[in-house]
Chains A and B, each alone.
Chain A
Amino acid sequence: MSEIERRALMKGAALSALAFTVGGKQTLLSPHQARAENVPFRTLTQQQGDILEALGETLVPGAAAAGISNFVDQQLSIPPEEALLEARILNIRPPYANFYRAALSAIDRASIANNDNRGFAQISASERHKFVDLMRQNKISGWQGPPGPFVYLVMRSDAVDVVYGTMDGYAALGVPYMAHIAPTKRW
């Protein structure tokens, strides 16, 4: 049996994809699809989702369209032992929503304080880039919240996950995925 045939044989026993609530029903969607269908957030507020999307796109181009806010929101709404977030392996204590709320709040407060009363989702792309560069170096004056470099690490990881970590992301980058057992819905 060829290696390709063996890989194909191993496909199939995959776990369910991400479950989103659409019109009161549980539906399996990719975060990209959830964003495209305007699936409402379960845990984050719309404002928090907007900040996260703006931050994600600043960190990794394509993260907004890939549905970073829907991904994180969906993950925050399920039991922590089922979560797929990198927060899990970075020793963040559940519930993970506490960290995300604190981090997004800190980002927006600092943006308002340093950008003429404009929140992070309201500032320009170049201002966002400059803000993130300072945040990752812990150089934002008056920062109040989880350490900026750690927020950068966690959020960058989420953005990298949704853009480069999926089967579609591998395909777009041009790296063979080569699953033994493929995740469903190309997740």
Chain B
Amino acid sequence: MATLEKVDVAIVGAGASGSVFASVLSKAGKKVVLLESGPDWQSSDLISSDFWGRRIKPAGIPFTLEGKNPYGFAYQAGWGVGGAALHYFANFPRYLPNDFKVKSEHNRGLDWPINYSDLAPYYDKVAQEIGVSGDAQAEEIWRPKGEPYPMPPMKTFRNGQVWVKGLESVGIRTVPAAVGMNSIKFKGRPACIYDGWCHVGCPIGALANPVVTYLADARNAGAEVHALSTVTRVLTNESGTKVTGVEYYDVKKERHVQQASVVILAAWAAQNPRLMLNSSTDKHPKGLANSSGLLGKYMMAHYASGTWALFDEDVEPHMGTVGAQFMSYDRYDKTSKKDAFGSTYIVCGTAMKTTDLGGFANARLDLFGQPLADFMQSAKRGITRLTAFGEEMPNIENRIELADGKDEFGMPLAKIVHSFDQDAVALWNANFEEGLTVAKATGAKEYWSARGNQPTIHLFGGTIMGRGAGDSIADSYGKTHEIANLWIAGPGLFPTEGASNPTYTIFAVSQRGAEQLVSKWGTVAG
């Protein structure tokens, strides 16, 4: 075992949130080490292929997946630097003011301890930092005024344009989708060329993944990344009042201890609680910072109601980005659908490849043999999809807890238990119905719902933020209530999930947290 020289900050995970903390802290002069369980991917590793793109996702996970709607882990997750944001779609919708006060306004779910106005400046800051394309003014029909985006909207294509009329027919307005992609050259990174390979990683840097943005900045400021280094425990002092560092194993399965003044857990919503539960001591018998018993609780996922439409005209399904071309918040009110509850966020205009879970060969999963071959011929020019993301309310029964069995490093596996409640099922169904109405109005030759098992998309909760140790694990900056130098970053902090794609909000919450840590460094790390 090697005990490494103490650093100011050890960050567990080099994905979206960890990279933001690394950038802000290293630029503030802190000595930062990121410990990442996967490889140190370079942009040149991001091959344009659905096969090769699977390498940047985990192969075998240390979780068992249980419940009525088991969580679809590996497709969502990252493995290596950049994390899931190395292959994300870079849709950048914000959360809206109604996302932060669900409990207060509807007596459902939970409240965030902050308001939209607390986060708004950080949305604007992130946009300027890493580049967002869109039309902020157009979005302001749904949200408070903010700063313009630094780039104009992306190009649109027929596969997106064909939906607009249909959406308008049911009163759904669309605006250019906000995306973390370059519509023009930005800070030395080139403009997008609309080849639709975003989901396997953008090697030219037109898409704002962490490797070419925050993590690059962090490295330039001196942060070190230790790849293939798997953290198994957070270490505490004898009195349990402070963390002292982390234990991790390298690729040769040799144990190391990285001492640090501050530890930031940024290993995604599933792994953070697993680590904290596995770090229990006699002073923290239920896991670190878990006097509330809420560690690992309130896990949430989005779900999507997809509507496929097949046109006679060539809508160029292969063109564009995997992010959206148009977006709408017109069904974002929590009560916009009768007999259901939760927000819906609608997007259309998505470049489509042939294979993988999102490919158009899966548009008709019931087809095989010659009928599938015939379908592929008709779909290659005429197919497109509308997607409505739905919100799930936090449910304490949806949880992560340690399980029997151990991983290759001797760390207990964990189980993720997840089931959608009646409201989520009702909203999913209602969004399918409206999708068909919209599709009919487009004049498509054929249209159908992408029904199957209700999918789980994105992951939230498990280490939620709140006002104190009685109702949550951390404060709104990510500082745990019980151990001042143990911080949490990422979507695990979210007490509710909204319906918007989360990464823009992950960046904004992390930027806010990281700046707070810098400003309070003396009291946190002292």
Q: How far is the CA of A152 from the CA of B373 in the complex (A)?
A: 16
Closest chain-B Cβ to A56's Cβ sits at a distance in Å of 10
Q: How far is the CA of A10 from the CA of B203 in the complex (A)?
A: 8
Once the chains bind, are B355 and A165 in contact (CB under 8 Å)? yes
* Cross-interface CB contact of B45 among A15, A132, A178, cutoff 8 Å: A15
Residues of A within 8 A of B372 (CB): 59-60
Q: How far is the CA of A160 from the CA of B50 in the complex (A)?
A: 11
Most chain A CB within a 10 A radius of its CB, from B52, B59, B60, B361: B59
* Cross-interface CB contact of A84 among B51, B74, B359, cutoff 8 Å: B51
A142 at the interface (CB under 8 A from B): no
Residues of B within 8 A of A153 (CB): 365
B202 at the interface (CB under 8 A from A): yes
Residues of B within 8 A of A179 (CB): 47-49, 195, 197
B409 at the interface (CB under 8 A from A): no
* CB 8 Å contact bits of A85-98 with B (1 = contact, 0 = none): 11011110110000
A161 at the interface (CB under 8 A from B): yes
Once the chains bind, are A183 and B318 in contact (CB under 8 Å)? no
Residues of A within 8 A of B49 (CB): 165, 179, 183, 187
Q: How far is the CA of A85 from the CA of B204 in the complex (A)?
A: 25
Once the chains bind, are A161 and B46 in contact (CB under 8 Å)? no
Within 8 A of A (CB), among B161-201: 190, 193, 195-197
Residues of B within 8 A of A177 (CB): 48
Within 8 A of A (CB), among B62-83: 65, 72-75, 79
* Cross-interface CB contact of B44 among A13, A81, A152, A187, cutoff 8 Å: A13
Once the chains bind, are B361 and A81 in contact (CB under 8 Å)? no
Once the chains bind, are A84 and B54 in contact (CB under 8 Å)? yes
Interface size class of A (residues with CB under 8 A): 35 or more
Closest chain-B Cβ to A75's Cβ sits at a distance in Å of 9
Once the chains bind, are A181 and B54 in contact (CB under 8 Å)? no
Once the chains bind, are A175 and B204 in contact (CB under 8 Å)? no
Closest chain-A Cβ to B76's Cβ sits at a distance in Å of 9
* CB 8 Å contact bits of B35-47 with A (1 = contact, 0 = none): 0000000001111
Once the chains bind, are B193 and A6 in contact (CB under 8 Å)? yes
Q: How far is the CA of A132 from the CA of B366 in the complex (A)?
A: 11
Residues of B within 8 A of A178 (CB): 48, 195-197, 318
Once the chains bind, are A129 and B376 in contact (CB under 8 Å)? no
* Cross-interface CB contact of B60 among A59, A80, A152, A174, cutoff 8 Å: A80
Residues of B within 8 Å of A, CB-based: how many? 47
Residues of B within 8 A of A90 (CB): 74-75
B368 at the interface (CB under 8 A from A): yes
B94 at the interface (CB under 8 A from A): no
Residues of B within 8 A of A14 (CB): 47
Once the chains bind, are B368 and A59 in contact (CB under 8 Å)? yes
Once the chains bind, are B50 and A183 in contact (CB under 8 Å)? no
* Cross-interface CB contact of A15 among B50, B52, B354, B380, cutoff 8 Å: B52
Within 8 A of B (CB), among A147-181: 152-153, 156-157, 160-161, 164-165, 169-170, 173-181
Once the chains bind, are A94 and B57 in contact (CB under 8 Å)? no
* Cross-interface CB contact of A180 among B48, B55, B74, B318, cutoff 8 Å: B48
Once the chains bind, are B47 and A15 in contact (CB under 8 Å)? yes
Closest chain-A Cβ to B42's Cβ sits at a distance in Å of 9
Q: Do A180 and B355 form a contact, CB below 8 Å, given A13-B44, A91-B73, A156-B368?
A: no
Q: Do A89 and B355 form a contact, CB below 8 Å, given A160-B361, A179-B195?
A: no
Q: Do A61 and B370 form a contact, CB below 8 Å, given A84-B52, A181-B203?
A: yes
Q: How far is the CA of A179 from the CA of B204 in the complex (A)?
A: 11
Residues of B within 8 A of A91 (CB): 61, 65, 72-74
Within 8 A of B (CB), among A58-111: 58-62, 80-86, 88-91, 93-94
A139 at the interface (CB under 8 A from B): no
Q: How far is the CA of A165 from the CA of B47 in the complex (A)?
A: 13
A42 at the interface (CB under 8 A from B): no
* Cross-interface CB contact of B59 among A62, A94, A164, cutoff 8 Å: A94
B254 at the interface (CB under 8 A from A): no
B369 at the interface (CB under 8 A from A): yes
Once the chains bind, are B369 and A61 in contact (CB under 8 Å)? yes
Q: How far is the CA of A14 from the CA of B55 in the complex (A)?
A: 14
Q: Do A175 and B55 form a contact, CB below 8 Å, given A60-B372, A61-B369, A187-B49?
A: no
Q: Do A175 and B380 form a contact, CB below 8 Å, given A14-B47, A89-B75?
A: yes
Residues of A within 8 A of B46 (CB): 180-181
B141 at the interface (CB under 8 A from A): no
* CB 8 Å contact bits of B331-366 with A (1 = contact, 0 = none): 000000000000000000000001111010100011
| Identity of the chain A residue whose Cβ is nearest the Cβ of B80 in the assembled complex | A81
* Cross-interface CB contact of A136 among B65, B79, B368, cutoff 8 Å: B368
A123 at the interface (CB under 8 A from B): no
Q: How far is the CA of A15 from the CA of B58 in the complex (A)?
A: 18
Residues of B within 8 A of A156 (CB): 365, 368
Q: Besides the contacts A6-B204, A157-B356, A180-B197, what 10 more A-B pairs have beta carbons closer than 8 Å?
A: A60-B368, A60-B369, A80-B60, A153-B365, A160-B359, A165-B354, A173-B354, A173-B376, A180-B193, A181-B48
Enumerate chain A interface residues (CB-CB to B < 8 A).
3, 6-7, 10, 13-15, 58-62, 80-86, 88-91, 93-94, 129, 132-133, 136, 152-153, 156-157, 160-161, 164-165, 169-170, 173-183, 187
Q: Which 7 A-B residue pairings sit nearest by Cβ, starting from the closest?
A: A179-B48, A165-B355, A84-B51, A13-B44, A80-B59, A164-B354, A178-B195
**Can you offer 26 A-B residue contacts whose CB atoms are under 8 A?**
A13-B203, A15-B52, A58-B368, A81-B79, A84-B51, A84-B54, A84-B55, A85-B54, A86-B356, A88-B74, A89-B54, A91-B72, A93-B60, A93-B61, A94-B59, A132-B369, A153-B365, A161-B50, A169-B354, A173-B376, A179-B49, A180-B195, A180-B204, A181-B47, A183-B52, A187-B51
